[in-house]
Structure 1
């Protein structure tokens, strides 16, 4: 990477394209939900639960992408551009073969997986169709994630943003045709939305792959696609597996909680889907700040600038907390309008508004995790967040969701109380870890190992 490119790496320069990209990814999901809500509430619930399952699989692809993002950033910070290129190509290859296996599993066992979720009978047929199409081609999303992570680590955050814009346009146009049937086009409902999602992702991958080849400037040795270097695979898995472990645990715990909510009926499932779609617009600020900070801190660690990395995390956390609190308050006072976009069901509107009030407390706690955990990963301190995360998600979030939501009969309010307790407990523990600077020793050990191997 050129010196000029390095100088352009600032939190704002990295974060605003990431913010737009994540926003558009969320809009892609919201577009499906909003447009399907004009078709039927049952279709919304079917797609919502299916996407909950698919999201767990997508996170499993993230372990290679996460490892690639951190290692590429660290090597670029240390001016090891050749090594960064080899790691990038290896990560694409690894995720391709892994994701193909998982895609095949989702296609073959889709109905069995949905039955395990205890999905209401009226939702099963549509959910199965969506799972087979979107799940069967989910390997394309794995490749998009990996290439996007590499481009962002190189500093090309705008590239992934532009690709996401294109994917959204294709997806919305496709949804319009298959849901509303203009010009005599057949109304395909959930099946059509699934095809639209799959086609937009496939086209997005082709474009982002072309951009990667163009931006590589001959620094990506594609021989590494077939010939792996043992140390690179070990490093990718060493960082990526624990990093993805925290996300896998989170999504698995959410599946269990969704199972609890399914027992409350279709109205409860639909309310959860609508509210969480709205919540994602608050969440994306913290996600973007966390990802931008991870890239910066990875470069700083590679360059050996420990104190600058420490201050960067604290500053980023302060920004994320303030923004998430302000956004939470605005969203709550706009709850009638926002929920009214999706539905006019009085029960959903009332329950949803209460959940959005609780979200004002929830989101600042989640900001701790999204920023500080990303910072810890960038230093190589990846096991602690997983250890604490698994304990809190299952010991607090799942347990409290059952106790307050099902046992005490508080329903979705009880589930949101569980979310709040989990996020704040983990967030405070992560901040204590960062302030302890235990991660400094891990960063120095990694640097010494790289220098010795060189």
Structure 2
């Protein structure tokens, strides 16, 4: 395995190898975590179509909480990294500590609000009375443990900001492994454990999050000493929160649009019956596993872009961006071929019902065709945040979801049912990827011109 890049390597080293040396630890952690979450879905599928459909309904709601956490993590990484770069170690410690408490407070409040609104939310999504009991069994436990999920995620952002990508990956991997071990024990009641069904899957997740919580707090407070164990003073906390939220809120808003769009699609899919929702839920989790490289690059590319942007090297910024896009497109084409080859095995593993198998096959043959270009959009979004353009990243997300993805999916469903819905999503990704690429090129060209003009002014003054 290649070593982690030295700080100056981001500014001078060869672009491709440097990006890879930053990305592979993240790939390992994300792939491990998503793989075990995929196994989680596999175990739930053995309970029956209703239970699998219930979990399919929970995705937009649970991802709303996760999206807020991701946005807070982006803001945390940006603020902490900037302070560390200016040798303000104490300021970085205060910002990291504030980020942990702020994220726990916001996610705790959001989870409580969602708990109170559980029935109206899922009724709006199209959940039937038969499924509502299963949804409550799962989500009430999930809500109670949400803070245990958010703290490790934001804590990992603090570590990445300090240049450590290996420890966060290890913590994610251990959490995923513990979840995979606990799932069959608690779902089916193996050995001394009671058979808890869908509740067992939720308990397995919460226990795994608790493990990550303990590990990240130990590492941040006692091992690395990069945050304080006690809450910061109120004035410091307020100032830190303002800086964190200036970047984090637009980023969170952009991420939270995705579960809203997924909620709309889930409601449309629900009109085709519970088997369709069950298959769609499996497909969404399959998409997460298939997009592991995209997710890893979206975490490793921004620091590379930020440092070169700060150094005034916009040519290197563009080179890194294009390199990541080309790799993403080529890799996702290979992923599509692999999914098609394994489609029969995937159906056999997750579909206990012929109707579920039919919809799942349709999903596999169509939706992954657009994953590569969907990756272009995701990487453009993260790159715009790296250039300190969070509002432009938010605007791109709005264009993707509400100008192309949702409208084209609705039109496709009206014309050709589920097949048309999936095709509409692929077409939307193609169109938005072109817009995203041109958008980023225009932004970087403008930044390069500003930097050249500033340099000329400095040279003429001398």
Q: Please say if residues 34 and 342 of structure 1, whose CA atoms lie closer than 8 Å, have aligned partners that are also in contact.
A: yes
When residues 85 and 301 of structure 1 are mapped into structure 2, their CA distance, relative to the original with a 3 A threshold, is: farther
Q: CA RMSD in A?
A: 2.7
2:456 is aligned with 1:435? no
How many Å separate the matches in 1 of 2:90 and 2:450?
21
Q: Give the aligned partner of residue 6 of structure 1.
A: 7
Q: Please say if residues 99 and 142 of structure 1, whose CA atoms lie closer than 8 Å, have aligned partners that are also in contact.
A: yes
2:66 is aligned with 1:58? yes
TM-score, normalisation: structure 1: 0.89
Give secondary structure in 2 for the equivalent of 1:228: helix
Q: Give the aligned partner of residue 318 of structure 1.
A: 326
Match of 2:122 among 100, 105, 114: 114
- How far off is 1:82 after superposition? 4.0
2:416 is aligned with 1:415? no
* Paired residues for 1:118-129 under 5 Å: 118-129=126-137
* Paired residues for 1:198-347 under 5 Å: 198-214=206-222, 216-217=224-225, 224=232, 226-228=234-236, 232-347=240-355
- How far off is 1:149 after superposition? 1.2
**Residues 105-154 of structure 1: CA deviation (Å, up to 9, x unaligned):** 23333233222222022211010121111022212212121111111222
Give secondary structure in 1 for the equivalent of 2:291: helix
Q: Give the aligned partner of residue 452 of structure 1.
A: none
Give secondary structure in 2 for the equivalent of 1:156: coil
Residue range with higher mean Cα deviation, 302-311 or 262-271: 302-311
- How far off is 1:228 after superposition? 2.6
How many Å separate the matches in 1 of 2:320 and 2:169?
24
Q: Please say if residues 103 and 138 of structure 1, whose CA atoms lie closer than 8 Å, have aligned partners that are also in contact.
A: yes
- How far off is 1:214 after superposition? 4.3
* Paired residues for 1:8-27 under 5 Å: 10-27=18-35
How many Å separate the matches in 1 of 2:211 and 2:161?
22
Q: Please say if residues 125 and 267 of structure 2, whose CA atoms lie closer than 8 Å, have aligned partners that are also in contact.
A: yes
Q: Please say if residues 36 and 179 of structure 2, whose CA atoms lie closer than 8 Å, have aligned partners that are also in contact.
A: yes
- How far off is 1:184 after superposition? 4.9
Gaps of 5+ in 2: 11-17, 455-462
**Residues 402-450 of structure 1: CA deviation (Å, up to 9, x unaligned):** 2221x22x23222212222332222222211221215627997xx9xxx
- How far off is 1:87 after superposition? 2.4
Q: Please say if residues 253 and 398 of structure 1, whose CA atoms lie closer than 8 Å, have aligned partners that are also in contact.
A: yes
Q: Please say if residues 369 and 430 of structure 1, whose CA atoms lie closer than 8 Å, have aligned partners that are also in contact.
A: yes
2:160 is aligned with 1:152? yes
Give secondary structure in 2 for the equivalent of 1:155: coil
Gaps of 5+ in 1: 448-454
When residues 317 and 95 of structure 1 are mapped into structure 2, their CA distance, relative to the original with a 3 A threshold, is: same
TM-score, normalisation: structure 2: 0.88
- How far off is 1:339 after superposition? 2.4
* Paired residues for 1:36-47 under 5 Å: 36-47=44-55
Give secondary structure in 2 for the equivalent of 1:182: coil
When residues 76 and 379 of structure 1 are mapped into structure 2, their CA distance, relative to the original with a 3 A threshold, is: farther
Residue range with higher mean Cα deviation, 427-436 or 194-203: 427-436
- How far off is 1:77 after superposition? 4.3
Residue range with higher mean Cα deviation, 295-304 or 146-155: 295-304
Q: Give the aligned partner of residue 181 of structure 1.
A: 189
- How far off is 1:366 after superposition? 0.7
Number of aligned residue pairs:
443
Residue range with higher mean Cα deviation, 105-114 or 155-164: 105-114
